[in-house]
Structure 1
Amino acid sequence: MSIALPTSADQITPELTKELIESHMPFVWESLKELVAFQSIHSVPGLEEHNAGAAAWVVEQFRAAGVPVEPFKTTDGSTSVIGVKEAAEGYPTILLYSHFDVQPSGVEKEWTADPWTLTERDGRWYGRGAADCKGHVVMHLAVLRALRELIDAGSEQLDKIGIRVVVEGSEERGGYGLEDLLHAQPELFRADTFLIADSGNDELGLPSVCTALRGSAPVTVTLRTIAQPMHSGQYGGAAPDALLELIKLLGTLHDDNGLVAVEGLTSDAVWEGVGPDTDTFRRNAGVLDGVEVLGAEQGIAANDLTVMRPSITVTGLDSLSVEDAINAVPGRAAAQVSLRVPPGMDPVAAQDALIAHLERHQPNAKMEIERSTVASAFRADTSGPALQRFSKAIGEVYGKSTVETGSGGSIPLTNELLTAYPDAELALFGIEEPLCRIHSADESVDPSEILHIGAAELLFLARTATESA
C-alpha cells in the first residue's frame, strides 16, 4: 500500500503517523523476533554471548536507522548503546531511552511456549522482553525509520531536531553501570527532552503518561543455625531450623491484614491520579477466587498501596526445594526482601528502618543483613511545553484524553537524568499495559500498543520540529 507523504512537517497528522507506523509493523515483528531470541539477562554466567549479541544487534539496527550509536562498556560489566544525530542550531535534542536486557524466564514450564521465541496467539505477541523492554527498542526503530521516510519525502525540517539514543544493558539488575557512565560522561546524555519508553498505559488503549514511580531499598537477610543440615529424625525438634526462623522473622514485616508493619514505613498516603478499582486490579493481577486484594476490606485503594506507600515483598528465598527435599533440618536460609519506597520518602532512611526492624526481631539464629543499592522515587512535572505537547500527541493518536498514572516500579535513571540536566523535561510512557504480565511467565505485548505509542512518538517529534522553527 502506497502512503501519500507530505512535503512539509506541519502537514503531519495523527492519522498519518499511525498509517506510517502500521506500514512498519512487519519490520517490528521480525526485529522483535530476532531480539527476543537473545537471552540477554545481565550478569548471569554462561549468557555472555547472548548479551554481547543483543548489544551488537542494537548497534547495527540503530545505525541503519540513521543514528550513529556506539557500544559503551559500563562499570557493572554491561554494554549500553549510545549515540546522537546532532541537532541543527536552534533545534532541541530528544533522547529516546529503552533497554535490551530482560528478566530471567523463571520456571519455563509455566510458559505456554518457549520464552525465547516470539509467538503470536489471539492477537498478542508472546516472549520474554516482548513488552519489557525489547518491544520499546523496536518501537523506537520503527519511529526512526518512519521519520527518515518523511524527511526523504520533503519534510526536511524534521532532520533538524537532534535524536539521541540510549539503550541500556542492565536495567533489570539495578542499572548502576549506566548511572556511573552518566556521572562520568554526562555529555553522552545531553538532551532537552528525555523520552523514557519503559512504562505503559493504565489499561489497554488508554493513553497514559506515568508521573510517579516508587524507589527501592532492598536487603538480603541470611540466617544460620547449625553448621550443616542434620538428619531430621535424629535432630529435628531440638536443632534450630533456619528456615522456620526465617519464616517467623519475615512474618513480622506485615500485620494480620497483610499491610506493612515496620516502624517508620507505615503510611496513610493516597494516590490522587487515575488507577484501577479493586475488581480491575484483581483481574489485572490475576488474584485467585477466594483470595482477597490487600487493603480492600480496609477501604484502601490498590494504587494507594502500589504507588504512594512502602511495600515489602519477598522476591527470592534460598532453602531446599520441594522436589529436592531431604529429611534434614536446614542449617541456612536466606531471603531477598524487596522494599519499594514511595515519592517523598528517603530510600536510605527506609532501608535503615527495615534493617532496624529485622534486628529488633533477632531470631534464634546468626543473622547477616546485606544492603543492596537504593534508588529514589520519581515524581514528574508535567507543566512544561514538551510534556504538554507529548500528552496531547498521545491522546490524539488514541482519540482519547491522556491520563496521568502512577507505578510501583522503579527506574533510577529518571532522577539521575534530571539531576544532570535540571532544565530538561522527562516523559515516562510505553507499551506495557497490565495484560503484558511483565516479569512473569507468558509475558506478551499487544501490537496495537506498539503502533499507537510509536505513532504518538513520531507525532511528537514532528510537532517539536515545527514548533522549534
Structure 2
Amino acid sequence: MSLSETDLRAAIQRELPGVRADLENLVRIPGIAFDGFDHSEVERSAEAVAELLRGCGLEVRIVRAGGQPAVIGHRPAPPGKPTVLLYAHHDVQPVGDLALWESEPFEPVERGGRLFGRGAADDKAGVMAHVAALRAFGDELPVGVTVFVEGEEEYGSDSLDALIAEHRELLRADVIVIADSGNWDVGVPALTTSLRGLVNCFVDVRVLRQAVHSGMVGGAVPDALTALSRLVATLHDDAGDVAVDGLVGRDAAEVDYPAERLRHEAGLLDGVQFMGTGRLTDRIWNRPAIAVLGIDAPRTAEAPNAIVPSARAKLSVRLAPGQDPQAALDAVTAHLHKHAPWGAQVSVELESLGAPCSIDARGPRYDAARAAFREAWDGVEPVDMGVGGSIPFIATFQEVFPDAAILVTGVEDPDSRAHGPNESLHLGEFARVCLAEALLLMKVAG
C-alpha cells in the first residue's frame, strides 16, 4: 500500500530527530580532501555514509577512481517505475582561520534555529536529506533509487568523470537530483537552472634575474609587483565589467536581486560600491567574473629595500553559461600577454577548469519538483534561479545521461555561509527540504 502525503509528512516529522543526530555525527568528521590534510578522515566519512545508506535498505559499495572514496547505494525500481539518482558529497572545505569561528567548526552547535559547523549545510545536509526521504518511505519506496555521494567535490571532483564512466549503468536514472545548491531565501524554495563555469589559473610576471637595490635602479627598472598590479587591473574596465575579449555573457535572469539584500548577504562595507553594470542577477549569474584570489610576494614585515624580480597571482574566472572553458582560458591568456606592462615576461598556468551549465527546466518531472516544493513550503511558489558558483560535473551528467531530468536543489539559504567561517544550516528549512524530497519521489513515481 502506497503512502499518502499525510503519511509522508508524519513520517518525516518522526524521522527528523534521528536524521539531525546523524547529521551532527557527520559534521564531527573533518573529511577534507585537499592536499595536506588527514585523508583517513575522508575514509571515515565515506564509511559513515555507507552505514547510513545500508540502514535504508540499499545495497552499498565504496568506490574510487584514483581519488577520494565515493559511496554508491542502490535499490532497484518496482516494476514499471522510474529510477531516481540522488547526488550529494560528503567532503568539506578547510575551515580557514579558526579565530573567525564563533564555535568549534567540527562540533555542531545550535544557535537561533541554525546548526553551525563545517559541512552542516555544504553538503552533509544534502546527504541527510536523501537519508530522511528514504527513511520516511521505509519498505514502501515507490521508485528505484541510486544514491551517489562523492568524496572530493570541494577539491575539484578530479576523479568524478572516471567514476561515472566506470559505474555508468548503475548510475543511469530517469531523474537526477543534485542536492548541492540552495534556495532563494528562508521560506522561498528554488530550482537552480544555471550555474557558471570556472577557470582557475596562475599568472607569473618576471622582470629581473634577481632582486636589486631599489634605490640604485628604482625609477628606471620596473618591479614585478607593480607590473603584476597593473596587469591584473586591465582585466576590468573603469565600471568594473570584465574587459577580456572572448568571454561571453548573456542577459537572461528572470528575477532581480534587491541591492540591499545582496549588500547584507555579502557583508559589503559601508561606502563600497558594486562592480559592473546591468542587473545584479545578470552580473552574478550570467556574465563572466574575475577575482584575484591570492598573490605570492614578500611579506611586508620581511621585505628588504629591493626590487622584486617576480610575482605570481591566482585568478578565479567564472564563466557565463554557454562559454567554452578552454576558449575562456585562451582568451584570458591572450589578454594577459597582450597587456604585459613594460615588456614584462608573463606566463599562465592552468590549475583547473569546469564547464558552466544551463538546464531547460520544462516538462512533467520539473512540474513534479515544483509541486513538491509548493506543498513542502505551504503554497509558496518556487523560484527558478541561477547561481554564480560552479558545479562543473552537472555538465558531465547532462552529456552522459541526456534523457534524464536534472533537478539542482539544495539546503542552503543566503545566510548559510558555505565555504566561510560559521557555516550553518537553517533547521526549519532543512525540515522542508526533507519533506520536499520525499514528496518529489512520490510524485515522480506517479
TM-score scaled to structure 2, two decimals?
0.93
Pick from 6, 11, 14 the counterpart of residue 23 of structure 1.
Answer: 14
Query: Compared with structure 1, are the counterparts of its residues 283 and 63 closer, same or farther at alpha carbon in structure 2 (3 Å cutoff)?
Result: same
Cα deviation, 1:100-135, whole Å, max 9, x if unaligned, reads 112221222111122222112111111111111111
Question: Given the alignment of the two structures, is residue 54 of structure 1 paired with residue 45 of structure 2, yes or no?
Answer: yes
SS at match of 2:159: helix
Structure 1 residues 47 and 327, CA, compared in 2 at 3 Å: closer, same or farther? farther
Alpha carbons of 1:32 and 1:332: their partners in 2 closer, same or farther (altered >3 Å)? farther
Q: Does 1:272 pair with 2:253? A: yes
Bigger mean CA deviation after superposition, 331-340 or 440-449: 331-340
Structure 1 equivalent of residue 57 of structure 2: 66
* Pair 1:171 & 2:153 matched: yes
C-alpha offsets along residues 361-405 of structure 1, whole Å, 9 cap, x if unaligned? 124543321123322221112222111101111111102111111
Contact 2:376-2:432 at 8 Å conserved across structures: yes
- What are the within-5 Å matches in structure 2 for residues 307-386 of structure 1? 307-322=285-300, 329-363=307-341, 364-386=343-365
8 Å Cα contact 1:277-1:301 kept in structure 2: no
Q: Determine the C-alpha separation between the residues in 2 that align with 1:335 and 1:74.
A: 31
TM-score normalised to structure 1 length: 0.89
- Deviation string, structure 1 residues 245-293 (Cα, Å, up to 9, x no partner): 22111111011222111112264x3233224221221122111111112
The structural deviation recorded for 1:163 is 0.8
- After superposition, the Cα gap between the structure-2 partners of 1:280 and 1:63, relative to the gap in structure 1 and judged at 3 Å, is same
Q: Pick the aligned partner of 2:419 from 431, 434, 439.
A: 439
Match of 2:395 in 1: 415
- CA separation of 1:445 and 1:240: change in aligned 2, threshold 3 A: same
Aligned-residue CA RMSD (Å): 2.2
* 8 A Cα contact 1:318 1:335, kept in partner: yes
1:203 CA displacement: 1.1
Which residue type is aligned with residue 80 of structure 1? A
Q: 1:261: which partner in 2?
A: 243
Q: Is the 8 A contact 1:275 1:405 kept in 2?
A: no
Question: What aligned pairs does 1:122-137 form with structure 2 within 5 A after superposition?
Answer: 122-137=112-127
Q: How many residues align structurally? A: 444
Tell me what 1:205 maps to.
Answer: 187
**In structure 1, distance between residues paired with 2:71 and 2:215:** 57
* 1:402 counterpart residue number: 382
SS at match of 1:435: coil
Aligned to 2:406: 426
Are the structure 2 counterparts of residues 457 and 108 from structure 1 closer, same or farther at C-alpha, using a change threshold of 3 Å? same
- Asked whether the 8 Å contact 1:83–1:188 carries over to 2, the reply is no
Q: Which amino acid aligns with 1:438?
A: A
Once residues 149 and 69 of structure 2 are traced to their aligned partners in structure 1, the CA distance between those partners, rounded to angstroms, is 9
> Cα deviations across residues 304-352 of structure 1 (Å, max 9, x unaligned)?
1111111111223322345665655444322221111111222221221
Contact 2:247 2:323 in 1 (8 A): no
Where structure 2 has 5 or more consecutive residues not aligned to the other structure, the ranges are none
Q: Work out which of the residue numbers 383, 390, 394 in structure 1 matches 2:369.
A: 390
Q: Which runs of 5+ in 1 are unaligned?
A: 1-6
| Partner-residue secondary structure (3-state), 1:434 | coil
Specify whether residues 237 and 63 from structure 1 end up closer, same or farther in structure 2 by C-alpha distance, changes over 3 A only.
Answer: farther
146 and 375 in structure 1: CA distance in 2 versus 1, 3 angstrom threshold = same
User: Given that residues 248 and 323 in structure 2 are in contact (C-alpha distance below 8 angstroms), is that contact kept between their aligned partners in structure 1?
Assistant: no
Percent identity for Structure 1 against Structure 2: 39
Deviation at 1:436, TM superposition (A): 0.6
Seen in structure 2, the aligned counterparts of structure 1 residues 229 and 110 have a Cα distance that, compared at 3 Å, is farther
Partner Cα separation in structure 2 for residue 112 and residue 231 of structure 1: 45
In 2, distance between residues paired with 1:56 and 1:229?
Answer: 52
Question: Which deviates more from structure 2 when the two are superposed, residues 269-278 or residues 436-445?
Answer: 269-278
